[in-house]
A and B are shown apart, each in its own frame.
Chain A
C-alpha cells in the first residue's frame, strides 16, 4: 500500500488559517468515511485530532476541522497559534481493512 500524499510543509502567521491536504485513491480516502488526522510534537507520540473525516475527540480545539472531497481529505487549522507548530499526519482505512498513513506535513508558525 502506498502512503497518502501530503505537502511536506505548510506555514502561516498567527491568527491565519491554513489547510493541509491528504490525497489517496478510491481504495482508501475516496472509498470510505474513515480518515483521521494526528498532531505530533517533537519527541512525543501522535495525538488524534480528527476521526471519521470531520469528528473531533473530546478536548480537541474547535480550531481544527476536517473535510473530504473525492480522493482528497483536508485538515484546516483556524486562528493559527504558536503551539500548533508540529507535524501533522493523516490516515485512512483501506479496502483490505488495513490502515495507511500520510507522508506528513510540517506546520510552521511564522
Chain B
C-alpha cells in the first residue's frame, strides 16, 4: 500500500531555511487522482495546513505562510519537498506530509494517507 516518509534535519537555526522531503512508496506522486500536502502541528496544539502541490506543479499555500513557503515535486524520485524560509521558534512543530483526495478537480481537504511526522525544532 502507499506509504509516505518525511526526512530532513530535526534542528534548524532561527532565520535559516527549513527543508523537508516526503518520499512516496507503493504509489506514484504523478497520480492524477491525488494531490500532496504538508501539514504541521506545534507541540500540544492543533493542525495547520501549510500547502499543497499537484504533480503538474500547481501549488497553493496557506495565506499566513505564503511569503515563506515553497512546495516542489521531483517525479523522477517520487518525492515532494517543503522549504520554509526565515524560520522562528513559532515554526517549531511536527511536520507531516499527506496525500489528499482529488474530487474531479477539487482539492477536497481529505487526507487519506499520512507520513509518521517529523519533529523540527527551531533553535540556536
Dominant secondary structure of chain B at its interface with chain A: strand
Query: CB distance A48 to B112 under 8 Å?
Result: yes
B47: chain A residues within 8 A (beta carbon): 38, 46, 89, 91, 101, 104
A36 to B107, CA, bound (A): 12
A69 contacts the other chain (Cβ, under 8 Å)? no
- How many angstroms between the C-alpha atoms of A100 and B62 in the bound complex? 9
Please give me the residue from chain A that is nearest to B63 by CB atom: A1
A97 interfacial contact with B, CB 8 Å: yes
Stretch at the interface among B12-20, B73-81, B84-92, B114-122: B114-122
Please determine whether A45 and B96 come into contact, CB atoms closer than 8 angstroms.
yes
Q: Which of A1-52 contact B (CB under 8 A)?
A: 1, 3, 34-36, 38, 45-48, 51-52
In the complex, B82 has a CB within 8 A of chain A: no
Residues A34 and B63 in contact, CB atoms below 8 Å apart: no
- Kindly list chain A residues whose C-beta atoms are within 8 Å of the C-beta of B62: 1, 98
Q: Which residues of A contact B39 (CB under 8 A)?
A: 101
Pairwise interchain contact A45-B109, C-beta atoms closer than 8 A: no
Q: How far is it, in angstroms, between the C-alpha of A57 and the C-alpha of B52 when the chains are bound?
A: 21
* B104 shortest CB reach to chain A, Å: 11
Say whether, besides A45-B116, A46-B47, A96 and B63 are in contact (CB < 8 Å).
yes
Chain B residues 43 to 62 lying within 8 A of chain A, measured CB to CB, are 45-49, 52, 60-62
Residues of A within 8 A of B (CB): 1, 3, 34-36, 38, 45-48, 51-52, 57, 89, 91-93, 96-104
Q: B: which residues have CB within 8 A of A?
A: 37, 39, 45-49, 52, 60-64, 96, 100-101, 103, 106-112, 114-117
